[in-house]
Amino acid sequence: MSARTGSSAGPGRRTNILVIGGGLAGLAAAVRFRREGWDDFLVLERGDEVGGTWRDNTYPGAACDVPSHLYSYSFALNPGWSRSFSPQLEIQEYITRVARQYRVRDHHVFGCEVLSARWVEGDALWEVETTRGPFTADILVGAFGALCEPSLPDIPGIGTFAGKVFHSARWDHDSDLDGKKVAVIGTGASAIQIVPAIAPRVAELQVYQRTAPWVLPRLDRRYSALERLACRYVPFYQRLVRGGIYWAHEAQAIALAKRPGLMRPVGLLARAKLRREVPDPALRQRLTPDYRAGCKRLLLSNTYYPAFREEHVALVTDGIAEVREKSVVTTDGTVREVDALVLATGFQVTDSPTYRRLFGKDGRSLGEVFDTVGRQCYKGTAIANFPNMFLLVGPNTGLGHNSMIFMIESQVNYLADAVMTMKRGRLRSVEVRATAQEGFSRMLRERLSRTIWNVGGCASWYVDKHGANTTMWPGFSYEFRRITRKFDIDAYHVSTGGPQ
């Protein structure tokens, strides 16, 4: 078996279920299918291994900001986590181990990028074109995730830069930054890990900030050997630890989504941290956000602010006017020499290019549909005009307080029950009713209007080009688990005559 092809099936194979993406969501679906005894499925993965985001983001300092015991599948707990917040490599090793343990690698086709997927109404199936040839399937599962397509800044002259330029999610490990003048553009979740990780190595570090983030303490520590032994051998111990972490984090939704006024103490804590770690008043002022804590993603770090106390680390808050062959020019006219540019500029969350490759029953792409009506989606999973298609980590499934794996497993429950319902009823196709989708979207808009993301006074990547927050789930994660527990067929148009 080649390293690029987990599946022995050749291109053009007809399969019951086709999954796009082999990250955490795609892997969870694959494992569930195997556990249900369904073997007629394939996972198309453009990379050469499972893992998705955690395979691709290998930048210095990369780690999770969700506690380790919670950032794992409920069916595959890991007693061997080394720290309370796991580093990237450890998470990737966990993901690959799960794929091997549940024997789903043979259902993956690696090095296979989806170019287009079209619903064929007459045949009630999906025709999928890929870089490895065509595939057809009765059911299409979009598990391509939200944090997979880098967002590249449109800066005049950046194409003329003579040094190395790379995005944080496509880190160039062949590029030696030691002793170089490095510019990091962006101050989001990736940047606050990269900056302190590379600061000791570089001669000069320029951090270009457009919006200051709120940064909270990172309660990170190594687990003792005794704790790891207890997780491995003491019955229910790890599940009790996991449960405690879950409910502690779930309580944060009260402030974020129910009572935004309760976020004020969080802002005070962040300000106290900033005051303690940045003694220079002028620098501290530039690092202070001008919006309410929680409006944008809350970041965790104990090393980001201290990095700016180093003489060779500079915070630049003037906008970038242009990039020249060997320098960056800001709007105040200052020219700063640079050897390498690191683009920590986030991802295309609300406008994923993959949307333009999925075509529904009327011939329009998902991107065109979203352009017209916004990112409306029923339970973050089903979309009118796209029969037999289910999204994982779809619109309005994001969390600001808990683990996305919990949301993924909730959607996989819904997906599995949908497939079971179709098999049991010999249904040819299911398509969510437009009225059900619109009603669900109205409920989301109403609830989101009362959240910190709507009243906090900031612009964020949570918001799409229509000005709507189509990223975040406005409530407790257990509420989402409840509404996705069973496939509600009454919300769908169905046609009969499908395979048993």
Task: Summarize pLDDT for 323-343 with one digit per residue, the tens.
Answer: 999 999 999 999 999 999 999
Whose structure tokens read 């630890």? 241
User: How much is the average pLDDT of 216-233?
Assistant: 96
User: How much is the average pLDDT of 422-445?
Assistant: 97
Is the pLDDT at 2 greater than 70? The verdict is: no
DSSP 158: G
Is the pLDDT at 7 greater than 70? The verdict is: no
Alpha-helix residue ranges (DSSP H) falling in 262-340: 264-277, 281-286, 304-307
User: How far is Cα 184 from Cα 147, in angstroms, rounded to an integer?
Assistant: 19
CATH assignment of 158-219+254-343, among 3.30.1490.190, 3.40.50.150, 3.50.50.60, 3.40.718.10 = 3.50.50.60
Say if residues 444 and 451 touch (Cβ distance below 8 Å): no
pLDDT digits (tens, 9 = 90+) for 10-35: 446 899 999 999 999 999 999 999 99
User: How far is Cα 401 from Cα 410, in angstroms, rounded to an integer?
Assistant: 16
Whose structure tokens read 């900031």? 458
pLDDT at 499: 57
CATH of domain 14-149+348-496: 3.50.50.60
CB atoms within 10 A of CB 254: 15
Say if residues 20 and 142 touch (Cβ distance below 8 Å): yes
Show the tokens assigned to 468. 């709507």
- Break the chain into its structural domains and give their ranges: 14-149+348-496, 158-219+254-343
- The answer to whether the 14-149+348-496 and 158-219+254-343 domains have the same CATH topology is yes
User: How much is the average pLDDT of 27-48?
Assistant: 97
